[in-house]
Amino acid sequence: MHPAFYIRPARVEEAAALSDLCFRSKAVWGYDPEFMALMLAALGVAGEDIAAGDVRVATGADVQIAGVVALAKQRTADAAANMARFDEQLVQVQRIGRIAVRMRSLRRARQLMAVIEQYIRADSRQFRAHQAHVALAAALVHDVGHGMFSHAFEGIGKKLNLPLARHEFVSEQLIRDSEIAEEFRELGGGFASDVASVIKAGKPGNLYDSVVSSQFDADRLDYMRRDRLMTGVESSGIDATWLLANLEVASVQTGTDGDAVGFVETLVLGPKTFHVAENYVLSLFQLYPNVYFHKATKAAERVFSSLMLRVVELVRDGSGDETGLPSRHPIRRFAENPDQLENALGLDDTVFWGALPMMVEADDQIVADFARRLWRRDLPKCIDVRQWFEHEIPPIRNADQKQRAERAAKILVHCHNVVAAFDEWARDRSEPQHATFVDQDRRTPYKKFQDSQSLLNQILVRYGEDYVDMAEISPVVASAETFEVCRIYITDGDTEAKCMVENICRTEGERKGVE
């Protein structure tokens, strides 16, 4: 039979015994004395909370206390009113049409902020509510400036030097001067400006900002799960709940060895989550070959970019009618005046997909061909140059890290040589009727501290009495190599380009033994 337990309200005179029970329950997991000393205040059960009816105990048949639960502490009237006011303003911001519903990301941000608040209060310091609210608001609206097809559109902006194609720039403008700013104004005259500044920085400036931008920021935890689900990828699953439950905050020394320059407060992981953290790093990394750098994804991005660049070129040359789009279409208006925020806000994915049938009928054959390929998903075919040389230069059995690095360097040189030779041929090609695309990209599994130069962007694990970079104690993470792609895309029927790529690869392959 299961033992019988009874639930009753705690008594004020039991406060010390209940505090001791909570402390011993936490200590059983093997935390070091320094950490437990920090937790002393947070784990204490106050007599006033018991008197307010916020604490319950479980007793056995022998009436001895077997467990305790403390309900959420009642906030002061002012604190409760401020939090309710803040929540209401976020609800109003979420209703603005430009912002996609980001409830999951905001919920993650709140969980992260709860970890930070617990740490600060346990250290008997003042929790900065305004700074926390700014960070939570930034977590909600930081992506509001994304244009159609997100980073692919930003690539177009870089080529044409269009500031309003950069989502950080647009987000800042919207937050400082739009209906979002109007809603945020209810939280204080400078609140919108503070949110915009956090987003503009692009990296965490303090502990509170880490919920917006860090290794464990709310958006990253959200998009890893979302993108895996929406693309049907079975790998790259993470245990976000367990990670969040074992996040801690620590004051970590900056600098190395004897060159300490100070301390910085940052999110760290407890030792129990070491292997889960390994999986987290590798799961994020695997999304690149399986999703973001997948050959079909990259082919579609290249076609989209080439189509938009051609449309902008025609509109700027006064030949906008050849695009197939009417003169007042949002894409043409943006191409004519890309410096007007209103025109940038008129672009989104649905506007583009709705424009495709019109561009398929364009008088300009380049526009018509690119539009048809996206509409019918008739994407260019990939010739994987890197894979070619990975076969030509097979791995050495039982190779050490130096030998693997030497092989990777040789492959990289051959890839660059092939791309250079192909680009030269493509430039001299007489009136090409087929488009070709070159794709070179890379993704590093994890940046160590010396590469990122920011502890707030590292995964630190509590290791004994010290906090150690994940790559220093995980042979799995430390040995993971950079994923690189080198591909050339050609369209069906372009046998000339296909033969040229193959010939260049063969010629380059004959040089693989030449140093």
DSSP assignments along 340-394, one per residue: -HHHHHT--HHHHHHHHHHHHT-SSHHHHHHHHHHHHT-PPEEEEHHHHHHHHSP
d(C-alpha 103, C-alpha 98), whole Å? 15
Res 486: pLDDT? 96
Topology of the domain covering 77-214: Hypothetical protein af1432 (1.10.3210)
Res 97: pLDDT? 46
Res 241: pLDDT? 80
Res 74: pLDDT? 46
CB 121 within 8 A of CB 114: no
Please state whether beta strands 483-490 and 436-443 pair in parallel, antiparallel, or not at all (unpaired): antiparallel
Give per-residue burial for 347-364: e unless 16+ CB within 10 Å, then b.
beeeebeebbebbbebeb
CB 415 within 8 A of CB 440: yes
Please state whether beta strands 6-9 and 55-59 pair in parallel, antiparallel, or not at all (unpaired): antiparallel
445 bridge partner residues? none
Q: pLDDT tens digits, the chain, 515 residues: what are they?
A: 445 667 788 888 888 898 888 888 878 877 777 767 767 777 788 887 787 777 888 887 777 888 887 654 444 445 545 555 565 555 555 545 445 445 566 778 888 888 888 888 887 888 888 888 888 888 888 878 888 888 888 889 888 888 888 887 888 888 888 888 888 887 887 888 998 888 888 777 788 888 888 777 777 888 888 888 888 888 888 888 888 888 888 888 765 554 556 677 888 888 888 888 888 889 989 999 999 999 999 999 999 999 999 999 999 999 999 999 999 999 999 999 998 988 988 888 899 999 999 999 999 999 999 999 999 999 999 999 999 999 999 988 888 888 888 999 999 999 999 999 999 999 888 656 788 999 999 998 887 644 445 666 678 888 877 888 888 888 888 888 889 999 999 998 899 999 999 999 999 988 755 44
Domain ranges of the chain: 6-70, 77-214, 295-379, 382-445+481-509
CB 137 within 8 A of CB 91: no
d(C-alpha 337, C-alpha 333), whole Å? 6
Neighbours of 265 (CB within 10 A): 19
Q: Assign residue 150 a region (left: φ > 0; alpha: ψ between -120 and 50; beta: otherwise).
A: left
CB 307 within 8 A of CB 374: yes
d(C-alpha 264, C-alpha 253), whole Å? 6
- In three-state secondary structure terms, 488 is strand
Res 96: pLDDT? 53
Q: Which amino acid is at 321?
A: D
Chain-centroid distance of CA 48 in Å reads 42
The sheet carrying 65-70 orders its strands as: 6-9, 55-59, 65-70
Q: Which helix (H) or strand (E) holds 266?
A: strand 262-269
DSSP alpha helices (H): ranges in 232-348?
240-245, 274-287, 295-316, 330-336, 341-345
Res 163: pLDDT? 84
Q: Which helix (H) or strand (E) holds 158?
A: helix 150-160
Closest to 467 measured CA to CA, from 249, 290, 297? 249
Q: DSSP states of 104-157 as a string?
A: HHHHHHHHHHHHHHHHHHHTT----HHHHHHHHHHHHHTTTT--TTHHHHHHHH
Please state whether beta strands 262-269 and 466-469 pair in parallel, antiparallel, or not at all (unpaired): unpaired
- In three-state secondary structure terms, 441 is strand
Q: DSSP states of 211-228 as a string?
A: GTSSTT-HHHHHHHHHHH
CA atoms within 13 A on the CB side of 160: 25
d(C-alpha 486, C-alpha 439), whole Å? 6
Res 451: pLDDT? 47
Res 255: pLDDT? 59
Closest to 223 measured CA to CA, from 268, 284, 151, 172? 284
Res 93: pLDDT? 58
* 80 Cβ contact list (under 8 Å, min separation 6): 74
What's the token pair of residue 374? 């996206």
- In three-state secondary structure terms, 316 is helix
- Phi, psi for residue 402 in degrees, rounded to 5: -65, -40
d(C-alpha 204, C-alpha 211), whole Å? 8
Res 292: pLDDT? 92
The length of the chain, given as a count of residues = 515
Place of tokens 């890893």: 224
Chain-centroid distance of CA 443 in Å reads 14
CB 464 within 8 A of CB 211: no
